[in-house]
A and B are shown apart, each in its own frame.
Chain A
């Protein structure tokens, strides 16, 4: 009896979660009247705007990861090494992006960095790109920090540092050549999550008027019928890819950890 209800709950969930996926795939194949075809995908892939916006978002995602690593790794390392009492404060700040809705933060950007302000970032395309990049790094902060901090917790940071210092390494060398390689797995898992978040991000890009993939998808959705479904399948594939790589990395890392 108990097992029946358990199967019923799982079956209900499976139907709810699988139907939209099946529905989307089916819909994306329906473009040619009367038969299934990949026309919608062809149409999407042929659209220069798709390539431009997708490329833009991929570059933004990669830069976000880079910026995130540059901010988070040295900070998490330094706090563990020298300022352990500051950890709760840092942790609290890194959780704030989960609390404050992104739309509010970007609203603040627009007000704070407008053309008449001290730092008129929104005045130029480059400036706005930088602003969006910082916004994405801020969105990714909770995931990145948590991943890196967990990674650091498995290391004896102090002993590693002292060993490196006794061999004459400088701070840049310690972080770049010692700490970073050791938390690479953690950084990667944070990076894949960040990638999945940034690639389809809509709110910030739309409000800052940047030609990113998220607003492009929204625009296409408002004007076309079948292409959005194809886009959704592609986006879902990218998310699965990121999560799959994340699992792979953590599994490989787990194996290495038990092997040593």
Chain B
């Protein structure tokens, strides 16, 4: 019994750190979301989330996250599939994977600068389109500081993340499955619909959830890109922490709590799907 007591001591620093700088701060926010300024229990803060401004910010945040997750999944899948099974020469894969590793970590303020320099009002692509083809994308209603601009920018780290995660899954599809389906009379379409996609489905859905959470919690890129002109949840929370723009600190906690719930649910989906995928791949 004494032995067990000693063993526990070895992990005390870790748990103390996690408690002080991860668990307690988060709990503090969660509890704050259910308290009024006098420290009494209340559900009024959560009810306050239903104000149009906050509902709008959640709606647009979820919209951006959905759009970047869906497009990131589709494009990343297409590129990974092209490399794994598209009959491309072998040298394509290594640079793509290396680049994906870098680009998936290239988020934040510099990414926003890169897109401003490229697709901003005097960015390279904007200028070239105007000079070469006479197309003025800003006159056509495009704006980098908008829903689509943000989506386009986020895709720069979402697509590589998808490629990094889905490539091993695609490589896990055995050649014999395809051949077995073929020899049993299945067309290529039937093979994909009845075998390959169902096998990949947990990985696809799981990665989708991960991309969603990844985009939902991102602050820096959006803030550097749009300032506070696009009121997505993290931007609004950022402004709230800085200057209490909601004029109710506890409403801010409720908003933060809402963020945890959304990303938590998305990650829960990821974990569940992941374990299913691993069971199949054995």
- Which A positions have Cβ atoms within 8 angstroms of B? 2-3, 5-7, 9-10, 12-13, 16-17, 19-24, 26-28, 71-72, 74-75, 78-79, 82-83, 86, 90, 93, 96-112, 134-135, 137-138, 141, 193, 196-197, 200-203, 206-207, 214, 217-218, 221-222, 228-229, 231-232, 235-236, 239-240, 243, 246-247
B116 interfacial by beta-carbon distance below 8 Å: yes
Instruction: Tell me if A's interface is mostly helix, strand, loop or mixed.
Output: helix
Q: How many positions in chain B have a CB within 8 Å of any CB in the partner chain?
A: 76
Tell me if A197 and B105 are in contact (CB < 8 A).
yes
Tell me if A71 and B13 are in contact (CB < 8 A).
yes
Convert B230-272 into 0s and 1s, putting 1 for each residue whose CB lies closer than 8 angstroms to a CB of A: 0000100110011000000000110010011001100100000
Closest to B108 in A: A200
Shortest B88–chain A CB gap in Å is 5
Tell me if A138 and B87 are in contact (CB < 8 A).
no
- Which B positions have Cβ atoms within 8 angstroms of A? 7-8, 10-11, 13-14, 17-18, 20-29, 32, 75, 78-79, 81-83, 86-88, 92, 96, 98-99, 101-103, 105-106, 108-119, 123-125, 155-156, 159, 213, 216-217, 219-220, 223-224, 227, 234, 237-238, 241-242, 252-253, 256, 259-260, 263-264, 267
* Leading 3 A-B pairs by shortest Cβ distance: A108-B25, A6-B86, A23-B118
Tell me if B14 and A75 are in contact (CB < 8 A).
yes
Tell me if A214 and B108 are in contact (CB < 8 A).
yes
Residues in A with CB closer than 8 Å to B105 are 193, 196-197, 239, 243
> Given A96-B22, A98-B267: A202 and B109 within 8 A (CB)?
yes
Tell me if B102 and A243 are in contact (CB < 8 A).
yes
Shortest B243–chain A CB gap in Å is 11
Instruction: Tell me if B's interface is mostly helix, strand, loop or mixed.
Output: helix
Q: How far is the CA of A13 from the CA of B155 in the complex (A)?
A: 11
Tell me if B25 and A221 are in contact (CB < 8 A).
no
Residues in A with CB closer than 8 Å to B27 are 108
Closest to B237 in A: A103
Tell me if A100 and B26 are in contact (CB < 8 A).
yes
Q: How far is the CA of A79 from the CA of B29 in the complex (A)?
A: 30
Closest to B8 in A: A83
